[in-house]
């Protein structure tokens, strides 16, 4: 059995921790309240290995660099199983949450082509979200489909294939709009495409011209979609399986497109060079972009979508957002999938890690650090930064969990093991 820290121990340790941070001018109670208020959008593809729920005529074709490796027991196979697993995770992670669907999680009961999807095909998700008080976010699924099998969708040479995916993108915008209306909160609708080439393209211009044209058709004002309800975002990528040399929808492409067309730019932590992080990009892009969407992931060597951990890269993202008073200007969503370990544990570890990183950033004496830097006291600034690393952050995190109904310490692992024994192990 993994120990859960007793309530009296949490309360006693928190008094000392609160005083330690107060000595630096930081209000730990206020940091806790703000940390749990930041909405985090959870993703169903951690539960089912990006399989989706479509009923298919001819089967789908995995594409776009998506490869879920591992075969741990208990993969969710139905919408009901995904929702049950998600509810377990939500009970273990403190804070405000949303849920982030792909179009491939439609529950139509029969084959429905993606360009014919409607809000009714997500009625179960909407009812579930309403019952739990969750907002929903959305994504068109431009992969795992016969019309994406040769590595191109919105940039395809064939006008008929491009038109199909344009219709899909429009259908998804209408679904997102209706989700927002029914749930009373805007739905972020993120467009990511797998398009690219494996080796040495002769024409880098044509695909980007076609991609621009397709996106403009999807986002056309004449469609009369309420952009206060459906908040569109566009996501770039460096490469993926089958597109190692070139992707038309790169970060540079979308940074310009989003700014020119007035949509949200998405930064995925894994969609850049292996040693490139997104923390420094935030203060640069938010000079010009009103809002960003950040996909929280963890690459190892490449965009491998490992479980998010409370590591330096993740902490740096939230340090920059808090220091720039920009936490409210960024939409946050999890984006990883690991079938090699207990999927519910992976989901929980990632979500708790993000909440920890938000809290840690809010416990920094930001004004003190900026003042020391402005006064030329670089050594003093570094000394404070180093001291922060050993202050009793864990005691504040434990109090956050205690106050907001989440297990304290390692006790949540016992619940994961019981859920595996009682639920996951019975799935065949």
Tokens of 166: 């344009």
Residue 305 is a catalytic residue:
yes
* Lowest-confidence region among 53-57, 182-186, 399-403: 53-57
Report which of residues 240 and 104 the model is more confident about: 104
pLDDT band of 105, cuts 50, 70, 90: very high
Residue 62 predicted with pLDDT over 60: no
Burial label for 417, CB within 10 Å (0-12, 13-18, 19+), is: middle
Residue 48 is a catalytic residue:
no
The reported pLDDT for the residue numbered 60 is 52
Catalytic residue among 102, 237, 281, 356: 237
The reported pLDDT for the residue numbered 64 is 58
Residue 235 is a catalytic residue:
yes
The reported pLDDT for the residue numbered 274 is 84
Reduced to 3 states (helix: H, G, I; strand: E, B; else coil), residue 419 is: helix
Catalytic residue among 305, 338, 364, 398: 305
Q: What is the mean pLDDT of the chain?
A: 95
Residue 268 is a catalytic residue:
yes
Q: Are residues 354 and 387 in the same domain?
A: no
| pLDDT (average), residues 258-263 | 97
pLDDT, one tens digit per residue, over 108-123 is 999 999 999 999 999 9
**Alpha-carbon torsion 172, 178, 182, 185, what sign?**
positive
Catalytic residue among 45, 125, 192, 412: 192
Q: Are residues 145 and 57 in the same domain?
A: yes
Give the closest residue to 100 by CA, choosing from 54, 48, 43.
Answer: 43
Domain count for the chain, please give it.
2
The reported pLDDT for the residue numbered 63 is 54
Catalytic residue among 177, 195, 268, 398: 268
Q: Are residues 231 and 139 in the same domain?
A: yes
Residue 409 predicted with pLDDT over 60: yes
Calpha distance 415→407 (Å, rounded): 9
First to last CA, the chain: 27
Q: What percent of the chain has pLDDT over 70?
A: 98
Q: Are residues 293 and 346 in the same domain?
A: yes
Q: What is the largest CA-CA distance in the chain?
A: 67
The reported pLDDT for the residue numbered 303 is 81
Residue 237 is a catalytic residue:
yes
Kindly report the CATH number assigned to the domain that includes residue 240: 3.20.20.150
Residue where one domain finishes, among candidates 362, 388, 408: 362
| pLDDT (average), residues 178-207 | 97
The reported pLDDT for the residue numbered 57 is 65
Residue where one domain finishes, among candidates 341, 362, 383: 362
Residue where one domain finishes, among candidates 362, 378, 409: 362
The reported pLDDT for the residue numbered 304 is 84
pLDDT band of 308, cuts 50, 70, 90: very high
Catalytic residue among 147, 168, 271, 381: 271
| Whole-Å CA distances, 301 to 175, 250, 276, 316 | 36, 18, 11, 19
Q: What percent of the chain has pLDDT over 90?
A: 91
| pLDDT (average), residues 212-228 | 97
| pLDDT (average), residues 325-345 | 97
Tokens of 199: 């080796």
Beta-bridged to residue 188, according to DSSP, are 231
Report which of residues 64 and 330 the model is more confident about: 330
Contact 424, 414 (CB under 8 A): no
Catalytic residue among 49, 335, 338, 420: 335
Give the closest residue to 59 by CA, choosing from 159, 125, 149.
Answer: 149
Q: Are residues 92 and 5 in the same domain?
A: no
**Alpha-carbon torsion 62, 350, 404, 75, what sign?**
positive
Catalytic residue among 4, 178, 303, 415: 303
Question: What size, in residues, is the chain?
Answer: 428
Calpha distance 300→77 (Å, rounded): 28
The reported pLDDT for the residue numbered 65 is 57
Calpha distance 143→60 (Å, rounded): 9
Q: Are residues 45 and 178 in the same domain?
A: yes
Q: Are residues 1 and 116 in the same domain?
A: no
Give the closest residue to 141 by CA, choosing from 71, 54, 72.
Answer: 54
Residue 61 predicted with pLDDT over 60: no
| pLDDT (average), residues 337-346 | 97
The reported pLDDT for the residue numbered 67 is 76
Catalytic residue among 235, 320, 364, 420: 235
Q: Are residues 1 and 54 in the same domain?
A: no
Reduced to 3 states (helix: H, G, I; strand: E, B; else coil), residue 298 is: strand
| pLDDT (average), residues 160-167 | 98
Calpha distance 365→369 (Å, rounded): 6
Residue 205 predicted with pLDDT over 80: yes
Calpha distance 228→251 (Å, rounded): 24
* Lowest-confidence region among 183-197, 296-310, 361-375: 296-310
The reported pLDDT for the residue numbered 241 is 82
Q: Are residues 238 and 387 in the same domain?
A: no
DSSP 417: H
CA angle 202, 208, 214 (to 5 degrees): 140
Q: Are residues 345 and 377 in the same domain?
A: no
> Domain range holding 383?
1-18+366-428
* Lowest-confidence region among 185-194, 266-275, 348-357: 266-275
Q: Are residues 269 and 388 in the same domain?
A: no
Q: Are residues 194 and 293 in the same domain?
A: yes
pLDDT band of 66, cuts 50, 70, 90: confident
Calpha distance 307→75 (Å, rounded): 16
pTM of the complete model: 0.96
């Amino acid at each position: 059995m993994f120990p859960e820290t007793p309530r009296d121990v949490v309360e006693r340790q928190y008094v000392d921790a609160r005083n330690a941070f107060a000595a630096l001018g930081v209000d730990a109670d206020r940091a806790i309240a703000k940390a749990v208020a930041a909405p985090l959008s959870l993703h169903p593809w951690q539960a089912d290995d990006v399989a989706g729920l479509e009923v298919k005529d001819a089967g789908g074709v995995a594409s776009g660099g998506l490869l879920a490796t591992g075969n741990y027991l208990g993969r969710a196979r139905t919408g009901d199983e995904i929702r049950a697993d998600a509810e377990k995770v939500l009970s273990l992670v403190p804070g405000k949450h949303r849920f982030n669907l792909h179009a491939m999680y439609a529950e139509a009961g029969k084959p429905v082509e993606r360009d014919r999807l409607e809000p009714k095909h997500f009625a179960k998700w909407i009812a579930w979200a309403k019952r739990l008080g969750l907002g929903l976010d959305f994504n068109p699924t431009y992969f795992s489909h016969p019309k994406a099998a040769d590595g191109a969708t919105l940039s395809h040479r064939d006008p008929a294939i491009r038109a199909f995916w344009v219709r899909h993108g429009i259908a998804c915008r209408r679904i997102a709009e209706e989700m927002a209306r029914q749930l009373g909160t805007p739905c972020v609708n993120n467009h990511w495409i797998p398009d690219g080439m494996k080796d040495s393209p002769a024409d880098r211009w044509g695909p980007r011209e076609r991609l621009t044209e397709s996106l403009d058709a999807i986002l056309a004002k004449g469609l009369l979609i309420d952009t206060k309800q459906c908040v569109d975002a566009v996501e770039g990528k460096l490469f993926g399986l089958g597109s190692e040399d070139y992707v038309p929808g790169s970060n540079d492409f979308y940074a310009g497109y989003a700014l020119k067309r007035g949509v949200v730019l998405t930064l995925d932590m894994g969609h850049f060079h292996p040693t490139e992080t997104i923390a420094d990009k935030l203060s640069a892009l938010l000079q010009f972009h009103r809002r960003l969407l950040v996909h929280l992931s963890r690459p190892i060597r490449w965009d491998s979508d490992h479980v998010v951990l409370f590591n330096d890269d993740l902490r740096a993202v939230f340090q920059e957002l808090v220091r720039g008073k920009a936490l409210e200007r960024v939409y946050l969503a999890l984006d990883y999938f690991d079938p090699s370990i207990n999927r519910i544990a992976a989901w929980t570890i990632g979500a708790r890690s993000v909440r920890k990183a938000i809290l840690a950033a809010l416990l920094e004496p930001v004004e003190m650090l900026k003042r020391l830097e402005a006064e030329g006291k670089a050594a003093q600034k570094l000394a404070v930064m180093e001291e922060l690393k050993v202050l009793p952050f864990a005691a504040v995190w434990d109090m956050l969990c205690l106050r907001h109904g989440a297990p304290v310490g390692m006790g949540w692992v016992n619940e994961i093991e019981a859920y595996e024994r009682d639920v996951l192990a019975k799935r065949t």
